[in-house]
Structure formats: C-alpha cells, structure tokens
Amino acid sequence: MRRYGSDVVVSLLAEAGVEHVALNPGASFRGIHDSLVNGPDPRPAIVLCLHEEIAVAVAQGYAKASGRPMAALLHDVVGLQHAAMAIYNAWCDRVPVLLV
C-alpha cells in the first residue's frame, strides 16, 4: 500500500483529536492540502482563510470557545512572517494553537 508523508501528517492530526485546520491554500504545503481534501477521513475539516494571520486568529478563537486546540497550516517563510502577530496574540492569551 502506497502512502505519502502528507497522509501520515493528516492521520496524526485526526488521531490527536484535531477537528479543524485553518489554512490559506498555496504551494508550500500542497501535499497536506491534497491529503486533507482527498483523504478517507473527513476530519480534520478545512477552514479556508484569505491570510495566514487570519488562519491563526481563527484557530485562537476556536480554542478559546471550545477548549480544544485547532491547527493552522502556514506557508514557509512569508506565511510564518504574516502570521507572526497572531501567533504572539495567541501566546499572550495563553491559548493552544497547533502550527504546521
């Protein structure tokens, strides 16, 4: 059975209890995006965002409201820089957010 690394990452997220993943689609995590869309398990569900900072802020709000962490997929370098302030806000708020 052929299995991609991105399928393993999505399976680990599901096994860890992550129900939703906020992301801004793009090329730097195309494999994980493909595994989220085409995987056999509907979890974690995708929450599309227009900016990486919004993705982290959505994950922060979800964690505050539900008491469970949410994941945010960030692009390498620029996406992480775009999300820097939201990451800092989540840290100041002491809210768990899983950044991938």
The per-residue pLDDT string of the chain (100 residues; one tens digit each, 9 = 90 and over) reads 787 888 888 888 998 889 999 999 877 778 888 888 887 777 899 999 999 999 999 999 999 999 998 999 998 888 889 999 999 999 999 999 999 8
pLDDT in tens, 26-36: 777 788 888 88
The predicted structure's pLDDT at residue 88: 95
Handedness of CA 32, 37, 40, 41 (dihedral sign): positive
The predicted structure's pLDDT at residue 47: 93
The predicted structure's pLDDT at residue 29: 79
The predicted structure's pLDDT at residue 27: 73
Tell me the HSE value of 14 on the side-chain side, using a 13 A CA sphere.
17
